[in-house]
A and B are shown apart, each in its own frame.
Chain A
Amino acid sequence: MADLKDPIAFELFKNAIFSIADEMALTVFRTTYSGVLKDNMDYSTGFADADGKLVAQGLTLPGHLGSVPTAMESIMRHYRDDMAPGDVFIMNDPFDGGMHLPDIFVFKPLYHEGRRMAFACTVCHHTDVGGRVAGSNASDSTEIYAEGLRIAPLKLYEAGKINKTIMTFIEKNVRLPVKVFGDLRAQLAACHIAEQQFADLVKRHGPDETAAFMRETVDYAERLTRSALAKLPDGEWSFEDWIDDDGVDYGKPIRLFVTIRKKGDHMVVDWTGTNPQVKGAINNTLSFTKAASYCGIRSVLPPGIPNNEGVFRAIEVICPPGTVGNGVLPAACAARGLTGFRMVDCMFGALAMMLPDKVKAAGDGGNTGISIGGYDSERKPFIYVDFTCGAWGARPWADGLDGNSHMMANMASHSIEVTEAEEPIQLLAYEFVADKAGAGKYRGGVPFRRDYRFLEEEGTLQVRSDRRDHRPFGLYGGSPGAPSENYLNPQAENKILPGKFTMTVKKGDIFRHVLAGAGGWGDPLERDPAAVLKDVRNELLSPAKALADYGVFIDTAKWTVDAAATTKRREEMRRARNWSEVPKVQRQEPAGLTATVRAAE
């Protein structure tokens, strides 16, 4: 800090630049046309310096931390010496700085008297960018060419003049150009706001001080990150987990493997050992793998560290090309969200080995993606896209949250009534499902189910879900959560559907999705019987399962716990399972407990 001339002026600058990034985010939020942007906060805004290094990112979606730098590198590679005031760049190519095709980046270089000072950056998930399945996020495409319109880094505006060719190409290749253009306008509006406010900032500080303060903002984040990392133990920890399959090669599990190496104030997150890239569209770009890695680590670092390049300097992320964490051409990647979310959970597993008292067990998997699209009788297209997740793994100090977004995203559920008013869809249920949460001293989050009834004559239903074969793990004695479920017409044929599929649906068809239960933390036999009673009273846990998993006898007439019987029962269960040590990770129902469930039934 001593090297900084005026710490107060710097603090004021930092406040101002992050408030511009937030204001850009609010501008997108308010002007957007699409529910994906608004409800899922599936967009990000930020500022980069004259060299394209991230200085400030608005707080919206953890999954995007790491996206802007990679995209900026690409812009700089192509246009470093070929940009001028009034230019605006557009791109979405995952193999040239993008993430997946629906995420369209818009960048605007900002100038002061001819000198390039910064970039205003936005990235938004668009409702549809063409390709074989409405919504452009099918998990069963096998190459990028099926996934939609691929936009290389291009100038959307050149010296203030819009490039109509690009706009026309977009218009003719997406299903809902009105929405795409509406959201592009939102991105441009955010850049416009940023430009105005940044000009005020340069006026106040002068161009040199502004540049120096942007550098210092990055250094400051690096110092904060390093000082926090230095307080963590040194060493090396690994963890592995599996995705059920890629939706193309059914039943072929995909391995995620991470090693965290921490020394002093530096950390390496190494994904070497992770599965080679797969046919299905769940291959990450490296930028998304980075975001997942940062997300895991940031959850054990103190709050308040600015989102920028400084964080990246202290945390190195490695993932070999050609793996599911760093796909290369022609990898399909539209549905890569799944892999990113699960990498965060894998990070939690490794961090739990490093810091047993700090980290949660696995959540429901997250997030399930459901798209229903088609054409109505007047050949007007409709696309309904729903991403959902909600059960947090249990924590070393508390139960997992019930009905809360995964940490990698911060999405909201769409209003059911608005969905029904706008789409040919009816929701028949959105409620918790009992007996699926992983048992533990602290139980995993309770999952919910959603039942969708389709009202148009015919449409395409595409689902990306997981955690069917590989259940959300429990930690330090906690049980894993129960698997996810998919059904067609549960009131009638009740056909079991796979985790990932694309199928035709007809009028009146009902699709049911049940999330996986989240993993528990700690020995279930140490759970406070009052907490078990509360769950039974609230019908989140059946009396039979209270007895089987927790050894708790509940009198459902008086809503009391039979303490003596419970103590006795728990003793018997302890003897029966005969733990020599508490199992650190449990991925299957513990044998002893399964046996007692049968006994109880």
Chain B
Amino acid sequence: MSTPSSYRVGVDIGGTFTDIVLLGADGTIHTKKISSSVGDYARAIVDGLSELFQETDLAGRAIEEIRHGTTVASNAILEHKGARVGLITTKGFRDVLEIRTLRMPRLYDLAWEKPAPLVERYLRQVVDERVDARGRIEKALTLEDAERAVDALLAEKVEAIAVCLLNSFANPRHELMIKEVVERKAPGLKFSVSYEVLPEIKEYERTSTTVINAYVMPIVASYLKALRGGLDDAGIPAQLLLMQSNGGLTSDQAAAERPMNIIESGPAGGVVGAQALARAKALPKIITFDMGGTTAKASMVEEGEVSRASEYSVGAGIMIGSRLLTGAGYMLKVPAIDLAEVGAGGGSHVWIDGGGSLQIGPESAGALPGPVCYDKGGDMPTVTDANVLLGYINPKHLVGGALALNAGKAKDAFETKVAKPLGLPLEKAAYGAHQIAASNMIRAIKAVSTERGRDPREFALFAFGGNGPLFACGMARALGMSRVVVPPSAGLFSSFGLLYADVEHHYSRTFRRLLRQADLAEIERAWTALADQATAQLGAEGFAGDRMRLKRSAALHYQGQSYELTVPVPEGRIDDRMVGLLEEAFGQEHEKTYGHRAGKDEPVELVSIQIIGQGLREGGVPERLKPSRAEPTPPPPRRAYFGESGWTDTPVLRRSDLATAKSGPLIVEEYDATCVVPPGATAQLDSGGNIVIELN
């Protein structure tokens, strides 16, 4: 199917830049970084592609497919620019969406404000109905009441309707009744019904998820329509695939129907790319580390599988230790690659608190005014300023030459605001700031490893993002990790990683049964129903049976526990033998994660059943890549500061210079990232062009 003239495109839109990567079937790579066109994100993609075509003499027809990671949906939520949504819910429960869980993310904070509900109270209608926990209808919904609720919302001119009734996961009849009324009274109006988007127990999580889906539906649909139109006009008929929060791709039609699945689309690409390279390189255990200008994110890939969280909060902000303190942002219960995030990036402020202690962030200088060395009016020292003073970052300009730097200003600011108050020489203060930033980010790595009973020393650190390769070696050493891997195009890796993804759809359903008392045939039927949904969706997207792969898993806990662990379910009938296998797999996972397991007699409860349907595409990414961009001549060696080794003359190299192994200290400067290899470490390219650094 792929010919040398056929290309795949990865496009990642960030707040500042739109990154485009073109990959030919023969491994040729073209990259492009252009300013994002805020307000009309689709334009930057079409313009960027057109420019790339001119530079490369390619035609739109050469593009086989476009894979896209976007923050359109999450921005709509963060900026409260989604649709005017009406919500219909059960009488007595009008405020579930607004009461949330009662919990706040900050203790002792009198100034805390709850995030405003995405549907204001007067747009929340109740209907008089009741279904009990087992799905029995106690009070039937009347058609009149359903129509009254829908009419009331239509009179308020809502742009979308969300429906979430109590216990509907156990019996959707009333929700489906309301859906019919909406379809009849307002054909074409966007709507989101909880049983269809999330047939799972827990009313707040389900309501919030259903509302978010409705809230971003119109904006995502019109964005995708504009993008499709722009591509068609530019003569690019290629299929458009969207990256989902779970790390799988989906068609643009499916994304428009379930936009809740693409909300954390942005950071997923890099992790999926790391997963693919880890599989190719037979690295069984990696921790990904993605650091940009304002945040750093970590995730774990074990035995070739990314780890996923079943829920997360959109726009929860970044707080150290935040995994304990929930309540911020907007709850979304859809599977997402499990990322731990800390508010540390190149722009994070370096400051001294009232107790005389050096602190990093969480405030950031952002893109404007940016670090002091950008010379755009920033006067607060930042992590990037520290890296310039330490000689890690080119003191004259950011690589590529687009941005001139003023190292003198950074030095003055650091001297007066950090070094003098601490009574430390400048380089010690800057090195301290670098180390503390690293130690904050180490919390993210621990969150995805030790907090789950995994020992980071058994993992390789896979670093990308503009600043990831600069910090990776120091962090790996502090954690006792012995290997760091820096992929090609590290600074563009979020868009590059899109090229490795498969089409993937996740389905789950609450199914609470004690395993040893359950009707196994009933469980089998429920799983089959989910499998049918998955194959129907994949079939609609053009996958033949032999290109589909279904993976079952089950969320289980000991009866009485309120938290589940998910274990894979092997192929085969659900019989007593399978129940035994599941109980054992759960017990092992419990022991691995928490250090203990209960006795064999402790009843294990099935909580939900899940299926992942994957559509496997032909023609993967070639191992050997051929970047079209020529490497610039590297600058001369410069002095860099490495703690105990002090100031050291450090060569600055191109990536290709590492074809043979070289010992640190050395710095690799590239178009999109800087990689620092400290003294005592050895760096060499592998066959795929990754920089592999061994620490001793």
B357 A11 Cβ-Cβ under 8 A = yes
Tell me the chain B residues, 110-144 only, with Cβ under 8 Å from chain A: 110-114, 120-122, 132-133
Task: With CB as the reference atom, state the residue of chain B lying closest to A298.
Answer: B108
Query: What 8 A-B pairs are tightest by C-beta distance, nearest first?
Result: A429-B92, A1-B356, A403-B99, A8-B432, A538-B121, A224-B355, A420-B133, A412-B101
Asked if A431 meets B92 with Cβ closer than 8 Å, knowing A221-B355, A298-B108, A539-B122, the reply is yes
Asked if A390 meets B121 with Cβ closer than 8 Å, knowing A30-B594, A224-B353, A417-B201, the reply is no
| A398-410 interface code vs B (CB 8 A; 1 in, 0 out) | 1001111101001
Asked if A19 meets B446 with Cβ closer than 8 Å, knowing A418-B202, A429-B93, the reply is yes
Residues of B within 8 A of A (CB): 92-96, 98-104, 106-114, 120-122, 132-133, 166-167, 169, 201-205, 321, 323-327, 353-359, 422-424, 428, 431-432, 435-436, 439-440, 442-443, 446, 450-451, 512, 558, 560-563, 593-596, 598, 602
Task: With CB as the reference atom, state the residue of chain B lying closest to A4.
Answer: B356
**Supplied contacts A8-B428, A185-B598, A358-B110, 13 more A-B pairs, CB within 8 Å:** A11-B357, A12-B439, A23-B451, A33-B561, A302-B354, A303-B109, A397-B111, A401-B112, A403-B114, A405-B102, A407-B107, A418-B201, A431-B99
Task: With CB as the reference atom, state the residue of chain B lying closest to A393.
Answer: B110
Q: In the complex the two chains form, what is the Cα distance from A180 to B93 in whole Å?
A: 33
A417 B203 Cβ-Cβ under 8 A = yes
Task: With CB as the reference atom, state the residue of chain B lying closest to A192.
Answer: B595
Interface-side segment among A56-64, A143-151, A471-479, A498-506? A56-64
Asked if A413 meets B101 with Cβ closer than 8 Å, knowing A11-B436, A31-B594, A295-B108, the reply is yes
A59 B132 Cβ-Cβ under 8 A = no
Task: With CB as the reference atom, state the residue of chain A lying closest to B89.
Answer: A431
In the bound complex, residues from chain B placing their C-beta under 8 Å from that of A416 are 93, 96, 166, 203
| A169-182 interface code vs B (CB 8 A; 1 in, 0 out) | 00000000011001
In the bound complex, residues from chain A placing their C-beta under 8 Å from that of B359 are 304
Contacting residue for B324 out of A12, A58, A451, CB 8 A = A58
In the bound complex, residues from chain B placing their C-beta under 8 Å from that of A460 are none
Asked if A403 meets B355 with Cβ closer than 8 Å, knowing A298-B108, A417-B201, A421-B133, the reply is no
Tell me the chain A residues, 193-214 only, with Cβ under 8 Å from chain B: 193, 197
Q: In the complex the two chains form, what is the Cα distance from A19 to B439 in whole Å?
A: 10
Q: In the complex the two chains form, what is the Cα distance from A35 to B562 in whole Å?
A: 7
- Residue contacts A-B, CB under 8 angstroms, 5 given: A1-B357, A38-B562, A59-B321, A189-B595, A412-B326
Task: With CB as the reference atom, state the residue of chain A lying closest to B204.
Answer: A415
Chain A proximity of B278: nearest CB distance (Å):
26
A390 B95 Cβ-Cβ under 8 A = no
Contacting residue for A189 out of B102, B203, B596, CB 8 A = B596
Contacting residue for A538 out of B103, B114, B120, CB 8 A = B120
Tell me the chain A residues, 216-231 only, with Cβ under 8 Å from chain B: 220-221, 223-224, 227-228
A448 on interface, CB distance cutoff 8 Å: yes
Q: In the complex the two chains form, what is the Cα distance from A285 to B327 in whole Å?
A: 30
| A254-284 interface code vs B (CB 8 A; 1 in, 0 out) | 0000000000000000000000000000000
Q: In the complex the two chains form, what is the Cα distance from A556 to B293 in whole Å?
A: 49
B354 A18 Cβ-Cβ under 8 A = no
A411 on interface, CB distance cutoff 8 Å: yes
Q: Classify chain A's interface size.
A: 35 or more
Asked if A430 meets B354 with Cβ closer than 8 Å, knowing A12-B439, A404-B112, the reply is no
A182 B113 Cβ-Cβ under 8 A = no
Q: In the complex the two chains form, what is the Cα distance from A302 to B109 in whole Å?
A: 9
B432 A395 Cβ-Cβ under 8 A = no
Task: With CB as the reference atom, state the residue of chain A lying closest to B561.
Answer: A33
Chain B proximity of A356: nearest CB distance (Å):
13
Contacting residue for B440 out of A15, A220, A451, CB 8 A = A15
In the bound complex, residues from chain B placing their C-beta under 8 Å from that of A38 are 562-563
Tell me the chain A residues, 1-46 only, with Cβ under 8 Å from chain B: 1-2, 7-8, 10-12, 14-16, 18-19, 22-23, 25-27, 29-35, 38-39, 41
In the bound complex, residues from chain A placing their C-beta under 8 Å from that of B436 are 8, 11-12, 15
In the bound complex, residues from chain A placing their C-beta under 8 Å from that of B593 are 30
Q: In the complex the two chains form, what is the Cα distance from A359 to B108 in whole Å?
A: 11
A537 on interface, CB distance cutoff 8 Å: yes
Chain A proximity of B461: nearest CB distance (Å):
18
Q: In the complex the two chains form, what is the Cα distance from A429 to B99 in whole Å?
A: 13
Contacting residue for B107 out of A179, A186, A410, CB 8 A = A410
B424 A7 Cβ-Cβ under 8 A = yes
Q: In the complex the two chains form, what is the Cα distance from A185 to B92 in whole Å?
A: 39
Chain A proximity of B509: nearest CB distance (Å):
14
B95 A430 Cβ-Cβ under 8 A = yes
In the bound complex, residues from chain A placing their C-beta under 8 Å from that of B357 are 1, 7, 10-11, 14, 220
Chain B proximity of A112: nearest CB distance (Å):
19
Q: In the complex the two chains form, what is the Cα distance from A404 to B109 in whole Å?
A: 12
**In the complex, which of the residues B122, B324, B327 has the most CB atoms of chain A within 10 Å of its own CB atom?**
B324
Q: In the complex the two chains form, what is the Cα distance from A178 to B561 in whole Å?
A: 10
Chain B proximity of A354: nearest CB distance (Å):
14
In the bound complex, residues from chain A placing their C-beta under 8 Å from that of B598 are 182, 185
Task: With CB as the reference atom, state the residue of chain A lying closest to B355.
Answer: A224
Task: With CB as the reference atom, state the residue of chain B lying closest to A388.
Answer: B102
A426 on interface, CB distance cutoff 8 Å: yes
A432 on interface, CB distance cutoff 8 Å: yes
Asked if A12 meets B435 with Cβ closer than 8 Å, knowing A407-B108, A431-B92, the reply is yes
Chain A proximity of B329: nearest CB distance (Å):
15
Q: In the complex the two chains form, what is the Cα distance from A300 to B110 in whole Å?
A: 8
Task: With CB as the reference atom, state the residue of chain A lying closest to B323.
Answer: A26
Tell me the chain A residues, 423-482 only, with Cβ under 8 Å from chain B: 426-432, 448, 451
Q: In the complex the two chains form, what is the Cα distance from A420 to B166 in whole Å?
A: 11
Q: In the complex the two chains form, what is the Cα distance from A397 to B169 in whole Å?
A: 41
Tell me the chain A residues, 151-194 only, with Cβ under 8 Å from chain B: 178-179, 182, 185-186, 188-189, 192-193
A540 on interface, CB distance cutoff 8 Å: yes
B451 A32 Cβ-Cβ under 8 A = no
Task: With CB as the reference atom, state the residue of chain B lying closest to A433.
Answer: B95
B356 A415 Cβ-Cβ under 8 A = no
Chain B proximity of A156: nearest CB distance (Å):
15
Contacting residue for A421 out of B108, B201, B355, B439, CB 8 A = B201
Chain B proximity of A418: nearest CB distance (Å):
6
